[in-house]
Copies of this chain bind each other. A is one copy, B any other.
Amino acid sequence: MNIPETLNKSFLFGSFSSDQLRQLAEFTTVKKLKKDERLFDEGEKASAFYFVASGSVKIYRISSEGQEHTIEIQRDGDLVAEAAIFDKETYPAFCQAMDETVLLRIPKHDFIQMIERHPRIAIEIMHGYSKRLRWFVRLVEDLTMHNIKSRLARYILNNLSRDSERHISKLSISKKELASLLGTIPETLSRTLKSLKKDGLIGEEGDYIVIQNLRRLREVAE
């Protein structure tokens, strides 16, 4: 795989000139992970950040009681640990591949130098940060103001795609993961899905959620 070409797929790097991409590729290395392999651990010194070329990784923390808690899932085109670039500190969470995953490793130091030469890049990165921050603000709001049913409804609605005449939402992660992502446990997720099905808002077909009553699902999501 050609590194400049891969980078070009990203929202972030998509606006780079081919010259900039070539420069970036100079200090970028490819990192391949098998399913469940860890990219970094919480507390590890952060010397680089990553770009997901293919596959997906989950970012999670472990509570004092040993419970794993997913913070987010990053897929191809996303950046991982870019928040660690400018803080000289350590990774704030664990990162583990959810499938066979290919990443580009971008050393912090080289990247900062590049920014100094090409400030436009910084603006793109900051744009990404802004989005991320906004997303977290929403998440916090969600966690404090809404119950699980509405969080689940929101998740389903955010994932919507069209299949012939129907609205569907592919569950690309296990329900166990989804529960963790929604800030709950599998049992509760199972019951919540059941309740939405009972009320005729959704149906389940294998890995897909089929929307049966979009309007009412939106109402639940608020």
Interface residues of A, Cβ cutoff 8 Å to B: 61, 63-64, 67, 69, 71, 83-87, 92-93, 112, 115-120, 122-123, 125-127, 129-134, 136-141, 143-145, 183, 222
Contact = CB atoms under 8 A, between A and B. Distances in A.
Given A119-B119, A140-B140, A69 B145 contact: yes
B131 A87 contact: yes
A211 to B, nearest CB: 21
Contact of A123 (B67, B86, B120, B130): B86
Contact of A130 (B83, B119, B139, B145): B83
Q: How many copies of the shown chain assemble into the complex?
A: 2
B92 A134 contact: yes
Contacts of A125: 126
* 7 A-B pairs with the lowest CB-CB distances in the bound complex, closest first: A122-B122, A144-B183, A136-B136, A86-B127, A119-B119, A129-B129, A83-B133
A218 to B, nearest CB: 12
B137 A93 contact: yes
A192 to B, nearest CB: 16
Q: Mostly helix, strand, loop or mixed at chain A's interface?
A: helix
B139 A85 contact: no
Contacts of A118: 119
Contacts of A120: 116
A63 B221 CA distance: 12
Contacts of A112: 123
A131 B138 CA distance: 18
A139 B122 CA distance: 26
